[in-house]
Amino acid sequence: MVTNKVLNGPLLWAFMCGRGSHEKAYAELKTGFAFDCVPTMRYAANGVWQLLSVIAFNLVRSFQVLATTERRGASRKRRCLYRFESIQTLRYQYFHRAGVLVRPQGHPMLDVGCSPAVRERFKRVDRLLNAA
C-alpha cells in the first residue's frame, strides 16, 4: 500500500477498511436502478438510460439525506457520512406503500392506514422535507 497520509500502521489500516462505500453504490446502481441493463441496440439510447439511472440514484440519495438518514459520527475508518438504505427497502417502506388521498376538511391528506409506526414514519418525512 502506498499513501501520502501521515498515519501509523493501525490508523492507516482502519482508514483503508472504510474505503469500500463506492462498491456498495455501484452495486446499488446495478441492482436497484438497472444501470447494467442494455435496453436497446442504440448507443445514444443506452447512454440516456444510464444517465437516467444515475439521476434517479442521486435523487434517492438526496431524498434520504433530507428525510430519512441520520449523520454518522466521525470514526477512524472515515466511512460514508450517512447510512443509506437500499432502494428495495425504500420501495417497501415509502414508495410502494398503499395509501389513499382523502379530503377530510377540504385539504388533501394521505391516509396510510392505522399503523402508528407507519404514520410516524410519514409524519417524520413530511416534517423534515418541510424544514429543508
Q: Please spell the DSSP secondary structure of the chain, one letter per residue.
A: --------HHHHHHHHHT--HHHHHHHHHHHHS-TT---SS-HHHHHHHHHHHHHHHHHHHHHHHHHT--BPPP-TT---SB-PPPHHHHIIIIIT---EEE-TTSS-EEE--S-HHHHHHHHHHHHHHHH-
Asked whether 92 and 103 are in contact (CB, 8 A), the reply is: no
Q: What is the pLDDT of residue 77?
A: 65
Residue 92, C-alpha cell as written in the block: 417497501
pLDDT at 48 over 90: yes
pLDDT, tens only, 11-36: 878 777 767 777 888 899 999 999 98
User: pLDDT averaged over the chain?
Assistant: 86
Query: How far apart are the C-alpha atoms of 12 and 17, rounded to whole Å?
Result: 9
Spans of all domains in the chain: 1-85, 97-132
pLDDT, tens only, 50-66: 999 999 999 999 999 98
Q: What is the pLDDT of residue 109?
A: 86
